[in-house]
């Protein structure tokens, strides 16, 4: 609903939001959510507003608390030179690798963005059984519920992200409960649900269809 509210605030017009669905034929649980390794995954982008530097700082903070922590980043660019050796990196992973090795191999997905229109990778990770640690970036508000399936902290606050990671990494029962809730919430975002919502909007506003 964040985008809907933003459009109204900027234009004064009423908007209808049709969410991006998850491809549940591609993204689903392939590894039990209980007893997953201490692995955190994160999308990497060089754009400052994606918050990669915040995320990497948070991972470093969590690594001090849990030396066995592993992390895997993925993105379209080549592996950044400044990444610590202990952080793995996948460039443009195929969907199966993204699903099985990255999302299902992780216990937590980290989203440090300062702003997001939607944040689809976090939702894909949820469908694969990840608990979420995210900044309050707008886009993830539609599916990350603080203290239900993840922890939400203010944007541009790497220390808060790190503290949230440490909290979940140190509480397996809570993390597993968040992961189970993530799967449940992700199931709401299907292609059929988005199509049904779009058709309902068009049916309720036939003038928009004609124009």
pTM of the entire predicted model: 0.91
Where are the chain's structural domains?
A: 37-188
Per-residue pLDDT tens over the stretch 72-81? 999 999 999 9
Find the mean pLDDT for residues 153-171: 98
Residue 121: per-residue pLDDT: 97
Per-residue pLDDT tens over the stretch 169-191? 999 999 999 999 999 999 999 98
Q: How many other CB atoms are found less than 10 A from the CB of residue 91? A: 12
Residue 1: per-residue pLDDT: 66
User: Comparing 21 with 1, which gets the higher pLDDT?
Assistant: 21
Closest CA to 155 of 116, 120, 113, 122: 113
CATH second-level architecture of 37-188?
3-Layer(aba) Sandwich (3.40)
Confidence of residue 211 (pLDDT cuts 50, 70, 90): very low
Residue 209 has pLDDT above 50, yes or no: no
Two tokens at 88? 């793995």
Q: What angle do CA 94, 30, 52 make, to 5 degrees?
A: 50
Whether 38 contacts 106, CB under 8 Å:
no
Q: What is the CA radius of gyration of the chain?
A: 18
Per-chain mean pLDDT for the chain: 92
């Amino acid at each position: 609903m964040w985008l809907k509210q933003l459009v109204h605030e900027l234009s004064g017009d009423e908007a209808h939001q049709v969410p991006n669905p998850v491809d549940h034929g591609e993204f689903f649980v392939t590894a039990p959510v209980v007893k997953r390794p201490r692995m955190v995954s994160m999308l990497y982008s060089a754009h400052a507003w994606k918050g990669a530097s915040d995320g990497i700082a948070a991972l470093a903070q969590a690594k001090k608390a849990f030396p066995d922590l592993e992390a895997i980043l993925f993105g379209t660019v080549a592996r950044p030179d400044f990444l610590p050796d202990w952080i793995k990196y996948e460039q443009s992973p195929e969907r199966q690798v993204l699903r099985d090795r990255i999302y299902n191999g992780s216990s937590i997905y980290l989203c440090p963005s300062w702003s997001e229109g939607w944040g689809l990778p976090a939702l894909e990770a949820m469908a694969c059984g990840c608990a979420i640690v995210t900044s309050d970036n707008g886009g993830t508000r539609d599916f990350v519920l603080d203290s239900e399936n993840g922890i939400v902290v203010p944007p541009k606050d790497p220390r808060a992200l790190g503290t949230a990671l440490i909290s979940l990494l140190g509480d397996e029962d809570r993390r597993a409960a968040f992961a189970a809730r993530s799967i449940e919430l992700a199931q709401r975002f299907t292609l059929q649900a988005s199509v049904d919502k779009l058709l309902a909007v068009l049916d309720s506003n036939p003038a928009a269809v004609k124009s």
